[in-house]
């Protein structure tokens, strides 16, 4: 039974779903990295929010880990390249808390416009400072969105309801989507110059880090109010403090900080500054949504192999998984076969799906081919890290689909570019489930690639089969299956025999010594 650790506070629905789906679950929160390292080796899955930092050190200690599930959007607390390299799937729940976070941004915008926290504190202190708190209306003001994805889109929608004009800076926003969202796509400088309120909704990347730097803050409209419910690090906090102190910035509200938990900050106590402790996603509804979603997704992966919302692996729905499973077995065997039979540098692998195979999601098939291929070079490869490792080894991967059927109603062909030219193998599914090799380097054969096999290329000549049978018999090697193919009578022939045990060096030497043998190799699947 797979076992999952929930290491951050999560709605109890998550644990309930894991148990219902046959996954054992422990809820242990608040562990230090050292404590987590000591226990993580027992688990197949790790469910987190933002507190647990899934570093390379944690992943190195996680010897059984197959999946990390983030109940939320941002995965900056997970070392994704390290997870990919170790073959661990990383999933998030991209939509479960979007509305809640957008509402928090809108709430902070209202709070800034009317200085609600300070007015509340003053009133409760018995001051009744009616003349001190003069606010501004939102109606007809310009809202500048930096980042117009899921949350930015919801904020824009709510802002339209408040009769605001919305401009957006997002280099990946298409003009069509901008029209659909009812926002004006602008440059960053234009946004800075025009916005009365600026709200940030981008991930933290090399491009967005300090996007509101001292220089850019200086370009903002005097009296601007700024909200950040996305990620700490998007705003230069020192420069923000200076802008508030000088009065150029009329207000700022941060839910996220460069260092979290933010127990101290030069911004604390600054007039017109509001802060919340990373509460963007903290509503009952959002937490139930993300808890259910992360547990369903992780259980799917651990129990059925279905993949949803993975950041380092193609998606594979629970419905697709059973249909794709035999194809993935076929693809892995074909990848392994070309891997075992090719030598030297392989600069390119092409994966061609034909007939029924062409109608399927190609990504898992490609990953399975690469995984089978690379397993001949490293045993730490799997479906998750195979594309990453292939890229790292400079292998170009091509994906081709042909919907019309050839000789077979479904076919997967794997071709590799070698120094000797392009070489390919192809396979089909018998009865839609049993993988069979049907072509090997241009020669038609029909073989089940399984267990230990002996591969022989020889000159087609009478008596060869008898001689090899005798040799194997004398060596005490039992033949399971026997598959033969040839280019033409008297031409090159290929022989694939399944044998009960690993092909020994001695046996191989004996086969190679037979007249007419060009190549002989032991294979394993």
Ligand X SMILES: O=C(O)CC[C@@H](O)C(=O)O
Ligand Y SMILES: NC(=O)c1ccc[n+]([C@@H]2O[C@H](COP(=O)([O-])OP(=O)(O)OC[C@H]3O[C@@H](n4cnc5c(N)ncnc54)[C@H](O)[C@@H]3O)[C@@H](O)[C@H]2O)c1
Contacting residues toward ligand Y, per CB under 6 A: 73-74, 94, 97-98, 101, 146-152, 169-172, 201-203, 205, 207-208, 229-231, 255-256, 278, 280-281
The span from the CA of 168 to the CA of 71, in Å, is 28
Q: Is residue 191 classed exposed, middle or buried when 0-12, 13-18 and 19+ CB atoms within 10 A define those classes? A: buried
Q: Is residue 474 classed exposed, middle or buried when 0-12, 13-18 and 19+ CB atoms within 10 A define those classes? A: exposed
* Residue ranges of E strands in 151-223: 165-169, 184-185, 197-200
Strand order across the 434-440 sheet:
396-402, 348-355, 410-418, 421-430, 434-440, 443-447
Q: How do 348-355 and 396-402 pair as beta strands?
A: parallel
Least spacing, CB of residue 62 vs ligand X, in Å: 21
Residues contacting 372, CB < 8 A, separation 6+: 331, 332, 333, 334, 335, 336, 337, 339
For residues 348 and 398, the answer to whether their CB atoms sit within 8 Å is: yes
Q: How far is CA 513 from the centre of its chain?
A: 50
For residues 5 and 46, the answer to whether their CB atoms sit within 8 Å is: yes
- Helix or strand (DSSP H, E) at 396: strand 396-402
Question: Is the CB of 212 or the CB of 440 nearer to ligand Y?
Answer: 212
Catalytic residues: 231, 260, 278
Place of tokens 């709070």: 111
Could you tell which of ligand X, ligand Y, none binds residue 49, using a CB distance below 5 to 8 A set by kind?
Answer: ligand X
Could you tell which of ligand Y, ligand X, none binds residue 201, using a CB distance below 5 to 8 A set by kind?
Answer: ligand Y
Cα atoms in the Cβ-side hemisphere of radius 13 Å centred on 121? 8
Which residue's CB atom is positioned nearest to ligand Y?
149
Helix segments in 10-125, DSSP class H: 13-20, 33-39, 56-61, 80-86, 98-113, 116-124
Q: Which residues bind ligand X (CB under 6 A)?
A: 49-50, 72-74, 97, 278, 280-282
Q: Is residue 117 classed exposed, middle or buried when 0-12, 13-18 and 19+ CB atoms within 10 A define those classes? A: middle
For residues 30 and 57, the answer to whether their CB atoms sit within 8 Å is: no
Tell me how long the chain is: 525
Question: Is the CB of 259 or the CB of 377 nearer to ligand X?
Answer: 259
Question: Is the CB of 231 or the CB of 352 nearer to ligand Y?
Answer: 231
Least spacing, CB of residue 284 vs ligand X, in Å: 13
Place of tokens 């070309």: 338
């Amino acid at each position: 039974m797979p076992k999952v650790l929930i290491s951050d506070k999560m709605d109890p629905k998550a644990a309930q779903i894991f148990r219902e789906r046959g996954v054992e679950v422990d809820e242990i929160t608040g562990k230090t990295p050292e404590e987590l390292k000591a226990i993580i080796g027992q688990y197949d899955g790790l469910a987190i929010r933002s507190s647990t930092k899934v570093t390379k050190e944690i992943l190195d200690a996680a010897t059984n880990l197959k999946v990390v599930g983030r109940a939320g959007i941002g995965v900056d607390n997970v070392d994704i390249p390290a997870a990919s390299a170790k073959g661990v799937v990383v999933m998030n729940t991209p939509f479960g808390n979007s509305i809640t976070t957008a509402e928090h941004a809108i709430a902070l915008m209202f709070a800034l416009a009317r200085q609600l926290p300070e007015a509340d504190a003053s009133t409760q202190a018995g001051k009744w400072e009616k003349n001190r708190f003069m606010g501004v209306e939102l109606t007809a003001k310009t809202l500048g969105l930096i980042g117009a994805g899921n949350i930015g889109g919801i904020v824009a929608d709510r802002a339209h309801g408040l009769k605001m004009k919305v401009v957006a800076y997002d280099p990946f926003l298409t003009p069509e989507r901008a029209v659909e969202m009812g926002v004006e796509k602008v440059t960053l400088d234009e946004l800075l110059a025009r916005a009365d309120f600026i709200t940030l909704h981008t991930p933290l990347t090399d491009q967005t880090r300090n996007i509101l730097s001292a220089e850019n803050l200086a370009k903002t409209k005097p009296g601007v109010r700024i909200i950040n419910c996305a990620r700490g690090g998007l705003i230069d906090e020192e420069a923000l403090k200076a802008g508030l102190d000088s009065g150029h910035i009329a207000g700022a509200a941060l839910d996220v900080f460069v260092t979290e938990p933010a127990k101290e900050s030069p911004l604390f106590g600054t007039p017109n500054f509001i802060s919340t402790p990373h509460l963007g996603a903290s509503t009952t509804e959002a937490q139930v949504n993300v808890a259910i979603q992360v547990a369903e997704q992780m259980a799917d992966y651990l129990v059925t192999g279905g993949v949803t919302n993975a950041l380092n692996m193609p998606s594979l729905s629970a419905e697709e998984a059973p249909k794709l499973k035999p194809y993935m077995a076929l693809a892995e065997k074909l990848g392994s076969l070309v891997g075992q039979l090719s030598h030297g540098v392989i600069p390119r692998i092409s994966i061609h799906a034909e007939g029924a195979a062409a109608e399927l999601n190609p990504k898992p098939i490609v990953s399975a081919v690469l995984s089978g291929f690379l397993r001949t070079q490293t045993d730490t490869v799997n479906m998750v890290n195979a594309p990453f490792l292939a890229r790292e080894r400079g292998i170009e991967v091509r994906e081709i689909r042909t919907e019309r059927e050839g000789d077979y109603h479904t076919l997967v062909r794997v071709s590799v570019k070698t120094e000797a030219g392009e070489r390919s193998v192809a396979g089909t599914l018998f009865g839609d489930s049993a993988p069979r090799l049907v072509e090997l380097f241009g020669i038609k054969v029909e073989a089940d690639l399984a267990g230990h096999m002996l591969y022989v290329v020889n000159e087609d000549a009478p008596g060869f089969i008898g001689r090899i049978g005798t040799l194997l018999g004398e060596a005490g090697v039992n033949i399971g299956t026997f598959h033969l193919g040839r280019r033409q009578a008297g031409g090159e022939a290929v022989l694939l025999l399944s044998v009960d045990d690993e092909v020994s060096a001695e046996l191989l030497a004996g086969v190679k010594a037979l007249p007419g043998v060009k190549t002989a190799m032991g294979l394993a699947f």
